[in-house]
Amino acid sequence: MNNDTLKIFVKTAGIISSLYLFLVGIAGMSSAIKRMGSEFAETVLTTTSDPFIALFIGIFATVLFQSSSTTTSLIVGMVSSGSLTIASSIPMIMGANIGTTVTNTIVSVGHINKGTEFKRAFAASTVHDFFNIMAVIIVFPIEMIFHPLQKTSEWFALKMFGKIENIEVLQAKSPIKLAVKSGSEFIQKFTFDNDIVYLVLSVFITFLMLYSIVKLLKSLVLKKIEGFFDQYIFNTALKAMAFGVIITIMVQSSSITTSLVVPLAGAGVLTLRQIFPFTLGANIGTTVTALLAAITGTVSALVAAFSHLLFNITGIVIIYCIPVLRDIPLKCAEIISEQAVTKKYLPLLYLFFIFVLVPLCIIYFGRT
């Protein structure tokens, strides 16, 4: 066995181990919340009972975690425990979609002193922002009035499992279920039956293992992909979108996928219109993490995770498939990047205003 083969074997084993511990963390978090009882559940439900505030909680939480996968996985765990309703989880998941775009926008700021290069890079990053904001503006009010995402996801769950409430996705005797349960019980022994410590430790393990999965997959996959991006991936919009889905599933991070193309845009290798469908594919690919997290939970958790997938598909169908709407994120990105070249403070002001100030103000004043 040569060194390259050994490295691949070790990294693959690391990914499998990290995935198992990630599921253990989610199961532990759900178990800890259940043990903490109705008082904790009521606090969460009160905080997120207003869907508009829940939307901005999703944005700000994802900015803090720097990962929509982490945010949505935690949301799924809370739904599984019963401390968060499906209806409250959907606006938070929508917010996570906006919050996740902060990473590639920050990456683009690294080109700020390079004129035209920065203009291209900043446009490539903010087009993702504007698309996700636009998707929320269109879909959020429709969901709040008619609940199509929730109803469709629940219909799907009913067809598969017969009912939604108090039903586990996996059977009690499933090997995966038993292995994950054993892992979470093992962790619980080290918390001396302190539910808060159990919850914090489970969240920490979930976050750490997701980070580990992303790092290992990135080193295993992306080096082989970067070389033929322009030649094979961006020939057509459909192919770019499909690769965006595949690569994001492989690295378990839409932030990494979208951040990867920002330098290529800055260098002029890829155009804004080539990058746009690729970032939309990343939106779909990132939903797989929450679906994985829901496997060891309840059907309600699966409904919340599936709603995330439906939301991203709906946004693409409504916005990208209609030429007039499709051009709006592109034009917004071009306008702000044009201004940012001459007004160096604009990117930092944009980041602070969209991702920090507005969410914090709405969360704070909405609760008072």
Residue percentage of the chain with pLDDT more than 70: 85
**DSSP for 97-158, written as a single string:** HHHTTHHHHHHHHTTTTSTHHHHHHHHHHHHHHHHHHHHHHHHHHHHHHH-HHHHHHHHHHH
DSSP 355: I
For position 316, what pLDDT does the model report?
Answer: 96
- Comparing 118 with 210, which gets the higher pLDDT? 118
Residue with token string 């160096």: 344
Confidence of residue 138 (pLDDT cuts 50, 70, 90): very high
Cα→Cα distances 140→51, 133, 270, 355, Å: 9, 10, 32, 18
For position 43, what pLDDT does the model report?
Answer: 58
Q: What is the pLDDT of residues 159-210, one digit of tens each?
A: 887 666 656 665 545 576 678 778 888 888 888 778 888 888 888 887 788 6
- Comparing 42 with 256, which gets the higher pLDDT? 256
Longest dimension (CA), the chain: 63
The Cα 249–Cα 255 span in angstroms is 12
Cα→Cα distances 339→108, 122, 192, Å: 15, 11, 56
For position 84, what pLDDT does the model report?
Answer: 85
| Closest to 302 (Cα-Cα) out of 111, 134, 160 | 160
Rounded mean pLDDT of the chain?
Answer: 83
Q: Which two tokens stand for residue 45?
A: 């439900």
- Comparing 319 with 107, which gets the higher pLDDT? 319
- Comparing 42 with 345, which gets the higher pLDDT? 345
Q: What is the pLDDT of residues 20-32, one digit of tens each?
A: 887 788 778 767 7
| Closest to 247 (Cα-Cα) out of 263, 225, 227, 230 | 225
What pTM was estimated for this model as a whole? 0.80
For position 45, what pLDDT does the model report?
Answer: 47
pLDDT of 18 > 80? The answer is: yes
For position 102, what pLDDT does the model report?
Answer: 85
For position 109, what pLDDT does the model report?
Answer: 83
Cα→Cα distances 123→108, 275, 326, 349, Å: 9, 10, 15, 16
Q: What is the pLDDT of residues 295-344, one digit of tens each?
A: 777 888 889 999 999 999 999 999 999 999 999 999 999 999 999 999 98
For position 266, what pLDDT does the model report?
Answer: 83
pLDDT of 227 > 70? The answer is: no
Torsion angle defined by CA atoms of residues 193, 198, 199 and 200, in that order, rounded to the nearest 10 degrees: 130
